[in-house]
Amino acid sequence: MPSLAIELTQVGIAVLLNAWNARFYDALQNKNAAAFGYELLIFAALVATLGSELPRRGRLASAGDPPALPGRQ
């Protein structure tokens, strides 16, 4: 059951990000500075909220050290 809750949360996050993305690019297309500024504030709130979740997901998905970048050691 916990995995279902995680999946539903991920779907909800994707929906929120897609809705924000549409509003953000609409503001750019319409050259609406007020809406653009507002969407930047919304983005900052999303990053502050979701940014704490991303490292947790990375720890769950990783198994050992991350792979080395090509050409770097």
Q: What is the pTM of this model?
A: 0.61
pLDDT tens digits, 16-71? 889 999 999 999 999 999 999 999 999 898 888 877 665 555 555 555 556 666 66
Higher pLDDT, 2 or 3: 3
pLDDT tops 80 at residue 1 = no
User: What is the C-alpha to C-alpha distance for residues 36 and 23, in angstroms, rounded to an integer?
Assistant: 9
Is the distance from CB of 11 to CB of 3 less than 8 angstroms?
Answer: no
Instruction: Count Cβ atoms within 10 A of the Cβ of residue 43 and give its class: 0-12 exposed, 13-18 middle, 19 or more buried.
Output: middle
